[in-house]
Structure 1
Amino acid sequence: MPNELPEVWLRGPVEGYPAELQPVVHALLQVREEVARHAADLTVEQLWARPGNAGSIGFHLRHIAGATDRLLTYARDESLAPEQLAWLKAEGVPGDPPATAAEAIDVAQQGIDRALAQVRETDVRTLLDARGVGRARLPTTVIGLVFHAAEHAGRHAGQIATMRKVVKGGA
């Protein structure tokens, strides 16, 4: 699966986003590309396989969308909605019938697209504004949340790439 383009961060600034948030944009766009590249050709069985009780690729794709949405909800200084909590509990559930790779990739990419839209609209003057995470309102900032959303998504894209090798037998 060669990639002919350099990684997103080496392609220059992404138009329409503030300079202060370019690293976040680059990371999210990289994840968007990687999840498609690493999961598109998987069978339903490979997508939802859990060797060693590890999280399935399907879980990681759904989790990218859900966790990013939750983190950016906190960045807006909002509480999680019941629907977000229900999504959290169902991220690893394949569905009946189980979601296909195309469907799970679409969920992740739509989540990333929503995140990119929010990042585009983020006022850089608010980046250091205090925010709280979870019921305990653990302290962070707007920039802490948007950066963590991007790097967290990147972690899961890496897990997808690794799990792909496992479920495809090292291919």
Structure 2
Amino acid sequence: MSSTQEYWLSGPIENVPSLLQPAAHALLQSVRETKNYLLDFPEEKLWDTPFGRASVGFHLRHLTGVLDRLLTYAKQETLTDEQFQFLKNEGNGEKAPSSQQLITEFEQKVNEALDYFKTIPESTLTDERFVGRKKLPTTVIGLIFHSAEHSQRHVGQLLVTVSALKA
């Protein structure tokens, strides 16, 4: 597959259920675009907040954190103290890893998500799940779709922030 060809045009991902292919493709595309957008990005600007908007570092951490949390809910588990601590520190650049390490962490979480997708019987995609302390209702496929769409949204925001900071 060409590095410029979008994942959704590359055919199915082996062992991922058909109905989850779009989410898998979107997550893989998010990783690729994040890597491309951050080529030659000045590390000293990782936590800058241009125009009062979220930093590149925040978006990178948030991509990993929100995917982790949504997968937890899809698995019908509750968030751990470690996950709440991660959430609390997503925007904190103090003692933060490099942009490349943050990208690697996101890519690892995407690979974990794809491994999880391969275990999901399609017959369970409409099973009810609950989100957060308020136990807001959704479904397995709702959580998976949202994880992909939310990742794409933050990659778009990251692109704009990177562009503003490189200008």
Whole-Å separation in 2 of the counterparts to 1:165 and 1:64: 18
In structure 1, the residue matched to 2:44 is 45
In structure 2, the residue matched to 1:143 is 141
Whole-Å separation in 2 of the counterparts to 1:142 and 1:109: 22
In structure 1, the residue matched to 2:34 is 35
In structure 2, the residue matched to 1:112 is 110
Task: For structure 2, list consecutive stretches of 5 or more residues without a partner in the other structure.
Answer: none
What is the CA deviation profile of residues 37-61 of structure 1, one whole-angstrom value per residue up to 9, with x for unaligned ones?
1123212222211112211111101
Question: Deviation of residue 102 (structure 1)?
Answer: 1.0
In structure 1, the residue matched to 2:165 is 167
Structure 1 66/4 Cα, relative in aligned 2: closer, same or farther at 3 Å?
closer
After alignment, is 27-36 or 9-18 more displaced? 9-18
What is the CA deviation profile of residues 61-89 of structure 1, one whole-angstrom value per residue up to 9, with x for unaligned ones?
11000000101111011110000000000
In structure 1, the residue matched to 2:151 is 153
What is the CA deviation profile of residues 7-53 of structure 1, one whole-angstrom value per residue up to 9, with x for unaligned ones?
11011111121111100111011001011111232122222111122
Q: Confirm or deny: 8 A CA contact 1:40 1:101 kept in the other structure.
A: no
Q: Confirm or deny: 8 A CA contact 1:39 1:47 kept in the other structure.
A: no
Q: Confirm or deny: 8 A CA contact 1:61 1:105 kept in the other structure.
A: yes
The equivalences for 1:58-137 within 5 A come to 58-96=57-95, 98-137=96-135
Identity %: 44
Question: Deviation of residue 131 (structure 1)?
Answer: 0.5
Question: Deviation of residue 95 (structure 1)?
Answer: 2.9
Structure 1 86/28 Cα, relative in aligned 2: closer, same or farther at 3 Å?
same
TM-score, normalising length from structure 2? 0.94
In structure 2, the residue matched to 1:18 is 17
Task: For structure 1, list consecutive stretches of 5 or more residues without a partner in the other structure.
Answer: none
Whole-Å separation in 2 of the counterparts to 1:118 and 1:41: 33
Structure 1 4/110 Cα, relative in aligned 2: closer, same or farther at 3 Å?
closer
Query: Between Structure 1 and Structure 2, how many residues are aligned?
Result: 166
Q: Confirm or deny: 8 A CA contact 1:75 1:131 kept in the other structure.
A: yes
- Runs of 4+ in structure 1 deviating by more than 2 angstroms, as ranges, are none
